Structure 1
Amino acid sequence: MSLIEAVTVPKWGMTMTEGTITQWMVNEGDTIARGQEILEIETTKVTNVLEAAASGTLRRIVLQQGTTAPVGALAGVITDEAATAEEIDAFIESYADRLGSGAEGDAGIAAPRTVDVEGGTINLLEAGEASDDVVLFLHGFGGDLSTWLFNQPPLAEKIRTIAVDLPGHGASSPVDGGDILAKIASAVSAAVQDLVPGKLHLVGHSFGGAVAARIAADQPSRVASLTLIAPIGLSKQMSRDFLVDFVAAERRRPLLNVLERLFADPSKITNDMVEGTLRFKRLEGVPEALSAIADTIANEDGQLQSIRALLAGLDCPVTLLWGEQDQIVPVPDAADLPAKVTLRSLPAVGHMPQMEASATVNEAILENIQKA
Structure 2
Amino acid sequence: MKKLISAIVVLLLGAAACLYFFPSALLATTQLVERRLAGLSPQEIQVGEFTIRYYEGGPADGETLLMLHGFGGNRDTWLRFSRQLTERYHVIALDLPGFGQSSKPDVSYDVASQVERLHAVIQTLGLGKLHLIGNSMGGHIAALYSARHGDQVLSLALLNNAGVTTPTKSEMYLRVQRGEPNPLIVREPQDFDALMQFVFATPPSIPGPLKRHFAEQSMANRVHYDRVFAQLREHYVPLEPELPKIQVPTLLLWGDQDRVLDVSSIEVMKPLLKQPSVVIMQNCGHVPMLERPAETARHYQDFLDAIRG
Query: Would you say 1:361 and 2:296 are equivalent positions?
Result: yes
Counterpart amino acid of 1:213?
A
Say which of 250, 260, 276 aligns to 2:187. 250
| Residue 342 to residue 279, structure 1, CA distance change in 2 (3 Å) | same
Give the equivalent residue in structure 2 for 1:173. 103
| Residue 279 to residue 190, structure 1, CA distance change in 2 (3 Å) | farther
Structure 2: segments with no counterpart, 5+ residues: 1-25
Counterpart amino acid of 1:260?
Q
Counterpart amino acid of 1:244?
N
* CA-to-aligned-CA distance 1:73-132 (integer Å, 9 cap, x gap): xxxxxxxxxxxxxxxxxxxxxxxxxxxxxxx9x799643222111122111010111126
Q: Which residues in structure 2 correspond to 1:26-105 (within 5 Å)?
A: none
Distance 1:134 1:198 in 2: 9
Structure 1: segments with no counterpart, 5+ residues: 1-43, 46-67, 73-103
Give the equivalent residue in structure 2 for 1:221. 151
The answer to which structure has the higher strand fraction is 1
Say which of 313, 336, 341 aligns to 2:268. 336
The answer to which structure has the higher helix fraction is 2
Task: Give 1:227 shift.
Answer: 0.4
| Residue 250 to residue 334, structure 1, CA distance change in 2 (3 Å) | closer
Give the equivalent residue in structure 2 for 1:34. none
| Residue 108 to residue 245, structure 1, CA distance change in 2 (3 Å) | closer
| Residue 129 to residue 321, structure 1, CA distance change in 2 (3 Å) | same
| Residue 367 to residue 209, structure 1, CA distance change in 2 (3 Å) | same
Residues matched between the structures, number: 268
8 Å contact from structure 1 (residues 354, 361) kept in 2? yes
8 Å contact from structure 2 (residues 164, 239) kept in 1? yes
Distance 2:153 2:38 in 1: 29
Query: Would you say 1:199 and 2:199 are equivalent positions?
Result: no
Task: Give 1:205 shift.
Answer: 0.2
8 Å contact from structure 1 (residues 127, 152) kept in 2? no
| Residue 144 to residue 108, structure 1, CA distance change in 2 (3 Å) | closer
Distance 2:38 2:183 in 1: 38
State the superposition RMSD in angstroms. 3.1
TM-score by length of 2: 0.76
Give the equivalent residue in structure 2 for 1:116. 46
Say which of 193, 200, 205 aligns to 1:263. 200
Say which of 78, 81, 87 aligns to 1:148. 78
8 Å contact from structure 1 (residues 123, 171) kept in 2? yes
Give the equivalent residue in structure 2 for 1:277. 214
Counterpart amino acid of 2:156?
L
8 Å contact from structure 1 (residues 133, 197) kept in 2? no
* CA-to-aligned-CA distance 1:198-230 (integer Å, 9 cap, x gap): 311111000000111122122111010100100
8 Å contact from structure 2 (residues 257, 282) kept in 1? yes
TM-score by length of 1: 0.64
Distance 1:145 1:334 in 2: 25
| Residue 110 to residue 267, structure 1, CA distance change in 2 (3 Å) | closer
Task: Give 1:185 shift.
Answer: 2.0
* CA-to-aligned-CA distance 1:25-58 (integer Å, 9 cap, x gap): xxxxxxxxxxxxxxxxxxx77xxxxxxxxxxxxx
Give the equivalent residue in structure 2 for 1:347. 282
Larger Rg, first or second structure (1 or 2): 1
Task: Give 1:366 shift.
Answer: 2.1
Please, which moves more after superposition, 140-149 or 340-349?
Answer: 340-349
Counterpart amino acid of 2:250?
V
8 Å contact from structure 1 (residues 122, 166) kept in 2? yes
| Residue 130 to residue 258, structure 1, CA distance change in 2 (3 Å) | same
Q: Residue 244 of structure 1 aligns to a residue in which SS? A: coil
